[in-house]
Amino acid sequence: MREKLVDRFNRIHDYLRISVTDKCNLRCVYCMPEEGMEFEPDERLLSFGEIAEVVRVLAGMGVRKLRLTGGEPMLRKDLDRLVAMLSAIPGIEDIALTTNGIFFAPKAEKLKAAGLTRVNISLDSLRADRFALITRGGDIKKVLAAVDAALRVGLDPIKLNVVLMKGINDDEIEDFLAMTFDRKLNIRFIEYMPIGHDDEGWKTKYLSLNTVFERAASRGWEVEPASGITGNGPAENHRLKGAQGTFGLIHPVSDHFCETCNRLRLTADGNVKPCLYWSDEFNVRSRIGDDQAVRDLFFRALDIKPENHEMALALDSANQSHTPTVRRMSQIGG
């Protein structure tokens, strides 16, 4: 009898990303359209109790790491209560949060006390006017306050997610790298991905992450490998010589990391996604309360999980073997 979450390519899945809402207070240009998004009504979202039940079953199957995402997860009222429920489940060792940071600072201490271990904060520009344009209205002061709060309460590591976009924020690469010299931060440069786009306009903003090395070299900064970063997942981590912090490169398009994928996703409306990019989904909500039915559904999802996501083929406009998702990143949970 199958007990662990191992797929047909012998990848062991010990990591679940949980979207707690598809709503967001921002409209980042690479994630959502400026208007016209339709959000799930509250009654269609999984309750905290339902989420905890799914996690309890999966913990018995080897899941050890969780990440709470959205949309913007801080929009979910009393999120610290969910963190406490999840951290009390035997087997769960690590609970992370991905947030845009706008509402994080006042809640940082409470979340840490509830069991949050680390945080990823989205920060695509260090310039207030440009940040407001990219996020369509975000206040960078609140995000920088979130970074300070995360450092103050002792979350570790603290990762700043930077989606690199040609002609938009690529002239700030050196500024982000310089942040690592005197602060223990992990700056994560992420390639622009074709998630939820029904046209090929994303290609005009796509930039290879090799640019990061070129910019570091232009400043005379020496780069060395970095290790020991908790939850580094798909990131290829490096350090500027003499820096306290590190930087990571996440390049799903140019150099995909599928061969070591250990992630499954649970959307806010209760769908299990075996792969971020493909359209396959399995709704678990009706099975909650029946542990074996939940197990069987996750095994079914694993059984059809492809070997890779083929985003590189999308970059070249080549044919793909599966159907890409039409859901936006905010609807999936990233």
Give pLDDT, residue 56.
98
Residue 318 confidence (pLDDT): 46
- Average pLDDT (71-98) is 98
pTM for this predicted structure: 0.90
CA distances from 157 to 38, 67, 113, 150 (A): 34, 13, 16, 9
pLDDT > 70 fraction of the chain, expressed in percent and rounded = 85
CA distance 131 to 140: 7
CA gap 324, 33 in Å, rounded: 18
Q: What is the dihedral of CA 244, 168, 324, 250, to 10 degrees?
A: -20
Mean pLDDT of 147-170: 96
Whether the CB-CB separation of 97 and 67 falls below 8 Å is answered with yes
Which amino acid, 82? L
Alpha carbon distance 274, 96 (integer Å) = 19
Q: Residue 302 — pLDDT band, cuts 50, 70, 90?
A: very high
What is the predicted pLDDT for the residue at 315?
46
How far is the C-alpha of 254 from the C-alpha of 187, rounded, in Å? 19
| Residues 240-293: tens digit of each pLDDT | 999 999 999 987 665 556 778 899 999 999 999 988 666 678 999 999 999 999
Q: Which residue has the tokens 């990391």?
A: 257
Can you give the pLDDT at residue 324? 59
Residue 196 amino acid letter: G
Residue 19, pLDDT above cutoff 70? yes
pLDDT at 253: 61
Summarize pLDDT for 119-131 with one digit per residue, the tens: 999 999 999 999 9
Q: Which domains does the chain have, with CATH numbers?
A: 15-332 (3.20.20.70)
For residue 307, the model assigns a pLDDT of 81
pLDDT band at 95 (very low <50, low <70, confident <90, very high): very high
Which residue type occupies 288?
I
The mean pLDDT value of the chain amounts to 89
Residue 172 has pLDDT above 90, yes or no: yes
Question: What is the SS3 string spanning the chain?
Answer: CCCCCECCCCCECCEEEEECCCCCCCCCCCCCCCCCCCCCCHHHCCCHHHHHHHHHHHHCCCCCEEEEECCCHHHCCCHHHHHHHHHCCCCCCEEEEEECCCCCHHHHHHHHHHCCCEEEEECCCCCHHHHHHHHCCCCHHHHHHHHHHHHHHCCCCEEEEEEECCCCCHHHHHHHHHCCCCCCCEEEEEECCCCCCCCCHHHHHCCCCHHHHHHHHHCCCCEEECCCCCCCCCCEEEEECCCCCEEEEECCCCCCCHHHCCEEEECCCCEEECCCCECCCEECHHHCCCHHHHHHHHHHHHHCCCCCCCHHHHHCCCCCCCCECCCCHHHHCC
Q: What is the pLDDT of residues 183-203, one digit of tens each?
A: 999 999 998 876 554 556 667
pLDDT of amino acid 201: 65
Share of the chain above pLDDT 90, in %: 72
